[in-house]
Structure 1
């Protein structure tokens, strides 16, 4: 079967090859409706499909970006991905999504793979284990934007929630409802996972602001597989918390699983606020008070910054840390 070329389309439509090229590249603001109609009809009748590889080589762009998430199971991650995809689709870019599982080895493998596929840029939730590799990307003027993580000494535009405020909103709401013994449950506190550190700091600052002494026995952190036992120890100690702040969506699920298993009533037996507005928060019984991150706005901003860098690699105006405000969504769990 003969391969249909751009020249075949031009001949069939009765226009020049350059006119077809302009049409395919959407540079047809001054092209007449009749001409566009002829080209569209020729493409449909001939079954023409542009050679994407050839166009990429000619334009020095694959119109593709990579998105490396730390853990795709997080609600925040999937919402950010959706926002990035929406924005890129409007700009005729495609995305390749990679799940690093917070593993530096996987992250490096994905970076190498994406570079080999000649993506035009990368949005990453960095693990913290590939600082030197990211520095090399900077030196090569390869467009990169970070999401949700700050790497010190790496000058890359970074999108963040105001995590200190997120914890402050949660503690403030609990204090307003009369709770004083407030605990916090978190995944392991790693220096490279900025939100965990900042949310813990925000929790401590909020306690101090409200005149509540910090009680180390009301702080729990650990791997998800360990949390059930640690939650049990926290809630069965001599002076257990009256309320809990779950520092992310997956921790919230562990707390809910524990309360269900041990027949604890929310908020009668234990009040609860989760940071991350999970999709079922409004229909759970009781409905869950949460701190929502503006994930869609954050994802859109990350895509905007990356495409700006792709268009102008020397654009230093985009560098910096962009903070987004969290929102308290009051429901019935506290």
Structure 2
């Protein structure tokens, strides 16, 4: 397997694509649709003796443009089959109904979160101004949890791990020294993946993501290959650290509500993160919403319109935000 490092000046940077050589050359994730990333992909393939036309399969971890943007044009040049989880297939393929549904829920959430007009205009301009990064239309083959995809000289097993995105999936495989996986943005070595704002279609985003962290930790992977930056050699420990981060953030959200009274997601976000710009105007209140939504579902805060307020004095955050056991 070969890692191809991709630039990304639009979002968080340092994306990865992975080439699985063999009888069925396969590329895992493809990067955002920009000229510089096109050069990165071609150069990375060329360095190990491959061309785009050699690809037989493209596997996408989730629908975000920095993972899928070049899929359409790479497919057109190679005639490769493109695989993505069924929950994300409609958006990746450019299905008008799926795209419209995502935009509808986006508009509804922005109103519910209480984003003021100024930041909302900035966010809308940012999102609409980067539509081309999604790239060309893609003919996708939807997959589900447990499916197996022939890749290289072996197989990839689909492991559905939603939260950051509804269809986010890892693809696990046997390596020379254990079981490994390509994990997209399920866990990252430096940042904590955004939950709540990254995919507004996800119901109960924090609970869903915590369940996925527990499932990933339980699989006992020896190493995982993320969508950004370097490989993670103890993925169960990293999953635990991210869950502990969300436990701490839950405490901070409760502190904001206790100190400042009923508040909407935007107000809580402002106390957590301060001033925000471009994509973070989405991610900040989205993260706050994920925690507020979780607390409301657990019955410790109450939602009245767009505002949330605590209803319980003694709250056991450790019980509300479980942390997976590390199995090594």
TM-score over 0.5 (shorter chain):
no
| Structure number with bigger Rg | 1
- Normalised by the size of structure 2, how large is the TM-score? 0.27
Q: Which has the higher contact order (CA 8 A, sep 6+)?
A: 1
